[in-house]
């Protein structure tokens, strides 16, 4: 359908549905995500519950209007960026926690519930929901499911998929599907919003640990820090969080939080152990011994406030990097644990060769490295070097047995690299699954299978 035709249909629909808005300020505000890529949005719907959601999805599918689910727009691969003047379905008003079932350690939520709000709801009753992306203060459960989000605690607790027991979602041409994730609904987890729209989810939750031990370790040397993290993991230590932060990133955080004494030449490990107080004490003792033996400096939180401060430092990474450049090119590769050290050295060398400002950190217990280049989109010569960097990074990661994305997804930004990772036969298989479920290609088009960059300004 041409653009004019789509616009007219959306305007007509907006007169019927009071939760659909076609005014310019909505269309402008909802046409991007955390990548800063701007798409083309024809209108924004704010369903207040299942009935509204069914109504808007049906209306779009009947009229051939593309639709794009959106949680909080914190995605780092352009997944929620609309195209083709389609309708953005924002889940922000579907934000109710529907039920908590203590006997079965389960909670049921609408997909627009913000991860942190769920944690705040569960904590006073002694529970938590383990997947905790660093964006948890804004990102939604629906977005977390669509991206199969991980987070700092993934080393011990795993990622989103492990906690999704069942989903209620809208499948194009089929309608409402409400089923456990042992069946076809499992396809929705990690499908990046390309197969259907999640209304609600039943999630398993765990009892809060009684005690925590939190430390920051300073290791002389970047690759050495990664190797030391692996040494800790193979020495009987079982942290819930084990994060690598390179020296340049830590220096940036130090400047942002006005801290001194953080060295640009060292590598850092942010680590937390949880469990009963006996378990935590035992593991902190083991950690202290392993650090002494390796001559690694260990600073541990002595109070709840100090623990909170260390977490604030971890969460300050993204805002502190924002001061280093107007454009952040953020790749989140994932590697087999044994190749992480090699990958870190390769990335630093490559950035130096191409004169790029590069920062590496990530959930290294889970094999994830976030590789950030701070630059400025307007510097065209530098952007050409950034493109070369990204291309060589992905080629090398795949050679080392890794993947293009640990948790941020493929979306728009990485689809052109999928051929490095998947054979044509594998790509064809994925295309067939997509077209079996969404034959008219109306659910989040321009993502994963095709870059969709032509939609962007």
Ligand X SMILES: Cc1cc2nc3c(=O)[nH]c(=O)nc-3n(C[C@H](O)[C@H](O)[C@H](O)COP(=O)(O)OP(=O)(O)OC[C@H]3O[C@@H](n4cnc5c(N)ncnc54)[C@H](O)[C@@H]3O)c2cc1C
Provide the minimum distance between the beta carbon of 273 and ligand X in the complex, in angstroms, as a whole number: 19
Which residue is it, tokens 């065209």?
A: 380
151 binds ligand X (CB under 6 A): yes
Minimum CB distance to ligand X smaller for 198 or for 290: 198
101 φ, ψ (degrees, to nearest 5): -120, 100
Task: Write out the binding residues for ligand X, residues 289-348 only, by CB under 6 A.
Answer: 318
Q: Verify binding: residue 402, ligand X, rule CB under 6 A.
A: no
Which CB sits closer to ligand X, 32 or 389?
32
Please name the helix (run of DSSP H) or strand (run of DSSP E) that holds residue 317, with its range, or none: helix 317-322
Q: Specify the stretch interacting with ligand X by CB under 6 A; choose among 72-80, 276-284, 371-379, 429-437.
A: 72-80
Nearest in space to 28 (alpha carbons), one of 414, 436, 457: 457
| Torsion sign (Cα): 60, 181, 364, 301 | positive
Residue number with CB closer to ligand X (253 or 284): 253
Question: Which H helix or E strand runs over 439?
Answer: none
Quote the least distance from Cβ 416 to ligand X, whole Å: 17
Q: Which of 61, 134, 313, 397 binds ligand X (CB under 6 A)?
A: 134
Q: Supply the DSSP string of 149-189, one letter for each residue.
A: ---TTHHHH--GGGGEEEEEEEETTTEEEEEETTTGGGGGT
Binding status of residue 272 toward ligand X by CB under 6 A: no
Distance from C-alpha of 23 to C-alpha of 390, rounded to nearest angstrom: 37
One of 20, 37, 198, 404 touching ligand X (CB under 6 A): 198
Residue 142 in the binding site for ligand X (CB under 6 A): yes
CA dist., res. 347 & res. 358, Å (int): 8
Q: Which of 86, 133, 247, 341 binds ligand X (CB under 6 A)?
A: 133
User: Quick one: 113 or 343, whose CB is closer to ligand X?
Assistant: 113
The answer to the question of residue 197 lying near ligand X (CB under 6 A) is yes
- Exactly one of 408, 410, 451, 455 binds ligand X (CB under 6 A); which one? 408
Return the SS3 of 327: strand
Question: Nearer to ligand X by C-beta: 296 or 412?
Answer: 412
Contact between 184 and 227 (Cβ < 8 Å): no
Write down the least CB distance from residue 282 to ligand X, Å.
Answer: 28
Q: Name the segment binding ligand X (CB under 6 A); options: 190-198, 320-328, 415-423, 432-440.
A: 190-198
CB of 65 to ligand X, least distance (A): 15
Task: Confirm or reject binding of residue 79 to ligand X (CB under 6 A).
Answer: yes
Q: Determine if 34 is a binding residue for ligand X (CB under 6 A).
A: yes
Show the site string, 83-102: x = touches ligand X by CB under 6 A, - = not: --------x-----------
Minimal distance, residue 297 CB to ligand X, in Å? 26
Contact between 382 and ligand X (CB under 6 A)?
Answer: no
Beta carbon nearer to ligand X, 283 or 405: 405
Alpha helices in 316-421 (DSSP H): 317-322, 340-353, 380-399, 418-421
Q: Quick one: which of 52, 85, 147, 455 contacts ligand X (CB under 6 A)?
A: 147
Half-sphere exposure of 414 (CA within 13 A, CB side): 27
Which residues, at least 6 apart from 177, have a Cβ–Cβ distance to it below 8 Å?
Answer: 167, 168, 169, 170, 171, 184, 185, 196
Handedness of CA 237, 242, 247, 253 (dihedral sign): negative
The nearer residue to ligand X, 143 or 283, going by C-beta atoms, is 143
The nearer residue to ligand X, 275 or 409, going by C-beta atoms, is 409
- How far is 92 from 97, CA to CA, in rounded Å? 13
**CA-based end-to-end distance of the chain:** 20
Are the C-beta atoms of residues 269 and 344 closer than 8 Å to each other? Answer: no
Q: What span, in angstroms and rounded, lies between the C-alpha atoms of 100 and 173?
A: 32
Task: Locate 330 and state its tokens.
Answer: 């953020």
Size of the site for ligand X (CB under 6 A): 36
Choices 143-151, 205-213, 214-222, 335-343 (CB under 6 A): range interacting with ligand X? 143-151
Helix (H, G, I), strand (E, B) or coil at 242: strand
Residue 441 token pair: 């290609």
> Which residues contact ligand X by CB under 6 A?
33-34, 68-76, 79-80, 91, 111, 133-135, 139-140, 142-144, 146-147, 149-151, 192-193, 197-198, 318, 407-408, 444
């Amino acid at each position: 359908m041409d653009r004019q035709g789509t616009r007219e249909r959306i305007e007509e629909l907006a007169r019927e549905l009071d939760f659909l808005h076609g005014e310019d300020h909505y269309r402008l505000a909802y046409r991007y995500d955390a990548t800063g890529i701007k798409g083309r949005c024809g209108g924004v719907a704010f369903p207040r519950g299942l009935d509204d959601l069914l109504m808007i999805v049906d209306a779009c599918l009947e009229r051939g209007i593309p639709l794009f689910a959106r949680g909080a727009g914190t995605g780092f691969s352009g997944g929620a960026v609309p195209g083709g003047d389609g309708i953005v379905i924002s889940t922000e008003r579907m934000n109710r926690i529907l039920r908590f079932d203590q006997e079965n350690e389960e909670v049921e939520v609408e997909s627009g519930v913000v991860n942190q709000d769920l944690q705040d709801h569960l904590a006073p009753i002694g529970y938590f929901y383990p997947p905790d992306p660093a964006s948890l203060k804004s990102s939604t459960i629906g977005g977390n499911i669509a991206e199969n989000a991980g987070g700092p605690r993934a080393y011990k607790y795993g990622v989103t998929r492990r906690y999704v027991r069942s989903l209620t979602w809208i499948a194009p041409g089929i309608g409402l599907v409400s089923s456990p994730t042992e069946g076809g609904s499992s396809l929705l987890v990690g499908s990046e919003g390309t197969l259907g729209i999640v209304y609600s989810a039943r999630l398993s939750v765990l009892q809060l640990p009684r005690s925590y031990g939190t430390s920051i370790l300073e290791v002389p040397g970047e690759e050495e820090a990664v190797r030391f993290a692996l040494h800790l993991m193979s020495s009987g230590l079982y942290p819930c969080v084990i994060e690598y932060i390179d020296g340049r990133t830590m220096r940036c955080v130090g400047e942002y939080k006005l801290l001194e004494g953080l060295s640009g030449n060292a590598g850092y490990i942010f680590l937390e152990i949880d469990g009963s107080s006996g378990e935590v004490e035992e593991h902190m003792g083991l950690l202290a011994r392993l650090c002494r033996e390796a001559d690694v400096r260990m600073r541990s939180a002595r109070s709840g406030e100090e623990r909170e401060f260390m977490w604030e430092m971890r969460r300050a990474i993204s805002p502190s990097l924002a001061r280093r450049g107007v454009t952040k090119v953020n790749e989140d590769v994932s590697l087999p644990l044994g190749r992480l050290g090699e990958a870190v050295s390769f990335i630093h060398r490559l950035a130096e060769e191409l004169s790029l400002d590069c920062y590496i950190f990530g959930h290294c217990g889970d094999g994830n490295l976030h590789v950030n280049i701070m630059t400025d989109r307007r510097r065209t010569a530098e952007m050409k070097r950034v493109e070369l960097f990204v291309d060589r990074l992905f080629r090398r990661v795949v050679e080392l047995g890794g993947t293009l994305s640990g948790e941020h997804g493929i979306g728009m930004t990485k689809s052109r690299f999928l051929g490095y990772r998947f054979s044509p036969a594998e790509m064809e298989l994925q295309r067939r699954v997509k077209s079996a479920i969404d034959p008219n290609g109306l659910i989040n088009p321009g993502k994963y299978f095709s870059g969709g960059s032509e939609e962007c300004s």
